[in-house]
Chain A
Amino acid sequence: MLKVDGVSTHIGKIKILHEIYFQVEKGQIVSIIGANGAGKSTLLNTLAGLYRPTSGTITLENDVISGYPANKVVEKGLSLVPEGRQIFSNLTVKENLLLGMFSKYYKEKKLAEENLTKILDMFPSLKKHLKNLGGNLSGGEQQMLAIGRGLMSNPKIILLDEPSMGLAPKIVYEILDTLMIIKEDLGTMVILVEQNVKAALKVCDQAYVIDQGRIIINGTRDEISSNPQVISAYLGIKSAGA
């Protein structure tokens, strides 16, 4: 279980996140939705250790992970697939994937090979590109590579920052399908940050709506999907009263 307990984050002097509380239970996909600039990416980057929270704690299965740098947080079992994919374009697909388990590679080379096979079974379209440079893949393939790379370290929880960005709807649904596989087959917890609210609400168990750095609404998928405020503000459908 991931527990976020009163986390605030400042960037420079500006307070971006205001005392965020939420949790992800084992076997759950949690969506965080919100408009541009609401603080979604800051929240994920704080969880991953790229920003140090100015207050509050983050615990992953009884292990406090807040206050550690990003390279340590990965070792503790939290993996972030960053916004814009951030593939190492100068490295081959195989090198990209293997770097995903940097902290364990030298100790467990066999595990690296096993994980590589597992990831390639999950994303068969990457197989034919193993020796190609990551930068030469299509957008959808790059996103799969980024997710695959994030899974290489066998994380307890994987965070995805806008995986649908710039992708064709068909590919967005393929990626959402793989999230279900990650949840069900690997048992990995998932936090999905999306502007594509409709897509996010299709796969998640719980959802949190974030606005100006605060969580303003939370609930199960059905509660959120039927919340009039969410419907009018994020799903673009006029509510009955308007």
Chain B
Amino acid sequence: MELLMQYIVTGLTVGSIYALLAIGFVTVYNITGILNFAQGEFAMIGALTCITFVNAGLPMYASIIFAILISATIGLIVERTAILHARNTSVIILIIITIGVSTFLKGMGLIIWGTNPKQLTPLIKMEPIHFMGAVINPQSIFIFIVLLILLAVLYVFFEKTYIGSALRACEKNPRAAKLMGINPSTMSALAFTLAAALGAIAGILITPITDATYEMGFLIGVKGFVGMVIGGMHSIPGAVAGALLVGLLETFSGGFISTFYSDAITFLVLILVLFFKPNGIFARASGERV
């Protein structure tokens, strides 16, 4: 029982990190049709820049804000340089470009920060909490709360603001959106910036638990992507649910079978989902009046 509780807590913690990346994936995918495989690298950039600022003597909260801003700016630069000029080619080429960007960013990370893992002190300095036999790291609770707050903020942004409605219009019908005067290229830049910021937040949050390296982005990026696919590609709530599921799956398979196979099991589930429910397990049937 204690073990079960422990797995749930750990699973939801990693799942929340994957969820932040999955939200970034969905946002970019919905608005531009591109699967941005550089998404995970923004977690790396966010985490390592934050550590650099902290080591330079800046207060923690300022470092976090600067790190998020810098990552978002890099996201914007990536969109303006690598994506914008290839905008009229096929989507598959754009996806391959993002893989190139990912390799490039990882290489830059290696040059700037080297190979040694770097640590970040937790934001909340508290003793671990004992709950129903499980030991909960306060950072885990913090991660979960940040995820909930971000979901609320994103909900308000997408559903209640004017620019959010323009983004949703662009998602649904880019051609008609253009006729309204909405510039799809601006919306694409906005999506990449937002996704990069979310990636950076995920990286900064996970670092006190796992440490940060130049290559940390790949695996959490892929897991975020798997979460998105399981959740149905198109909706933020679906992607979050999918990502949490991936987190749980990983800890449970790691705990009950072997940590050696936990990644393999996660991908096996992905393959099964794609076989039996290719639209994702949380996708709703959709219809349109013509």
Which A residues are within 8 Å of any B CB, using their own CB? 48, 50, 69-72, 74-75, 79-80, 82, 84, 86-91, 95, 98-103, 105-106, 135-137, 139, 142, 149, 153, 166
Q: Let me know if B288 and A99 touch, CB within 8 A.
A: no
Q: Which of A70, A84, A91, A153 contacts B168 (CB 8 A)?
A: A91
Q: Which of B165, B171, B181 contacts A74 (CB 8 A)?
A: B181
Q: Which of B13-21, B46-54, B172-180 contacts A (4 or more CB under 8 A)?
A: B172-180
Q: Let me know if A80 and B172 touch, CB within 8 A.
A: no
Q: Which of B1-26 contact A (CB under 8 A)?
A: none
Of A72, A80, A88, A98, chain B has the most CB atoms within 10 Å of the CB of A88
Q: Let me know if B289 and A136 touch, CB within 8 A.
A: yes
Q: A88-B172, A95-B165 are in contact. Are A135 and B289 (CB under 8 A)?
A: yes
Of B171, B173, B180, B183, chain A has the most CB atoms within 10 Å of the CB of B180
Of A50, A99, A103, chain B has the most CB atoms within 10 Å of the CB of A99
Q: How far is the CA of A117 from the CA of B183 in the complex (A)?
A: 26
Is B209 part of the contact surface with A, judged by Cβ < 8 Å? no
Is B131 part of the contact surface with A, judged by Cβ < 8 Å? no
Is B275 part of the contact surface with A, judged by Cβ < 8 Å? no
Q: Let me know if B179 and A88 touch, CB within 8 A.
A: no
Is B162 part of the contact surface with A, judged by Cβ < 8 Å? yes
CB distance from A87 to the nearest CB of B (A): 8
CB distance from B178 to the nearest CB of A (A): 4
Residues on B with C-beta less than 8 A from A135 are 288-289
Q: Let me know if B175 and A88 touch, CB within 8 A.
A: no
Q: Let me know if A99 and B165 touch, CB within 8 A.
A: yes
Is B270 part of the contact surface with A, judged by Cβ < 8 Å? no
Count of CB-CB pairs between chains A and B under 8 Å: 76
Is B273 part of the contact surface with A, judged by Cβ < 8 Å? no
Is B166 part of the contact surface with A, judged by Cβ < 8 Å? yes
Q: What are the 8 closest A-B residue pairs judged by CB atoms, nearest first?
A: A86-B176, A103-B181, A74-B181, A102-B181, A70-B178, A95-B165, A88-B169, A71-B183
Q: Let me know if A74 and B168 touch, CB within 8 A.
A: no
12 A–B pairs (Cβ distance < 8 Å), ordered by A: A50-B175, A70-B178, A71-B179, A74-B180, A86-B175, A89-B289, A90-B168, A91-B172, A98-B162, A99-B180, A102-B166, A142-B289
Q: Which of A71, A84, A89, A136 contacts B181 (CB 8 A)?
A: A71
Q: How far is the CA of A74 from the CA of B183 in the complex (A)?
A: 11
Q: Let me know if A149 and B168 touch, CB within 8 A.
A: no
Q: Let me know if B182 and A99 touch, CB within 8 A.
A: yes
Q: How far is the CA of A224 from the CA of B196 in the complex (A)?
A: 59
Q: Which of B172, B175, B181, B183 contacts A90 (CB 8 A)?
A: B172
Q: Let me know if B162 and A71 touch, CB within 8 A.
A: no
Over the window 255-290 of chain B, the binary record of Cβ atoms lying under 8 Å from chain A Cβ atoms (1 yes, 0 no) is 000000000000000000000000000000000111
Over the window 175-196 of chain B, the binary record of Cβ atoms lying under 8 Å from chain A Cβ atoms (1 yes, 0 no) is 1111111111000000000000
Q: Let me know if B169 and A99 touch, CB within 8 A.
A: yes
Q: How far is the CA of A69 from the CA of B177 in the complex (A)?
A: 12
Residues on A with C-beta less than 8 A from B165 are 91, 95, 98-99
Q: Which of B218-267 contact A (CB under 8 A)?
A: none
CB distance from A58 to the nearest CB of B (A): 16
Residues on A with C-beta less than 8 A from B181 are 71-72, 74-75, 101-103, 153
Residues on A with C-beta less than 8 A from B169 are 88, 91, 95, 99
Residues on A with C-beta less than 8 A from B183 are 69, 71
Residues on A with C-beta less than 8 A from B172 are 88-91
Residues on A with C-beta less than 8 A from B168 are 88, 90-91
Q: How far is the CA of A205 from the CA of B274 in the complex (A)?
A: 57
Residues on A with C-beta less than 8 A from B180 are 71, 74, 99-100, 102, 149, 153
Residues on A with C-beta less than 8 A from B166 are 99, 102
Q: Let me know if B182 and A89 touch, CB within 8 A.
A: no
| Closest residue on chain A to residue B171 by CB atoms | A90
Apart from the given pairs A74-B180, A90-B172, A102-B166, 10 other A-B contacts in the complex at a CB distance below 8 Å: A50-B179, A72-B181, A84-B290, A86-B173, A89-B288, A91-B172, A99-B182, A103-B181, A135-B289, A153-B180
Q: Let me know if A82 and B178 touch, CB within 8 A.
A: no
Q: Which of B162, B173, B288 contacts A105 (CB 8 A)?
A: B162
Q: Let me know if A48 and B179 touch, CB within 8 A.
A: yes
Residues on B with C-beta less than 8 A from A95 are 165, 169
CB distance from A229 to the nearest CB of B (A): 34
Q: A88-B168, A88-B169 are in contact. Are A82 and B176 (CB under 8 A)?
A: yes
CB distance from A170 to the nearest CB of B (A): 19
Q: How far is the CA of A87 from the CA of B288 in the complex (A)?
A: 11
Q: How far is the CA of A216 from the CA of B179 in the complex (A)?
A: 29
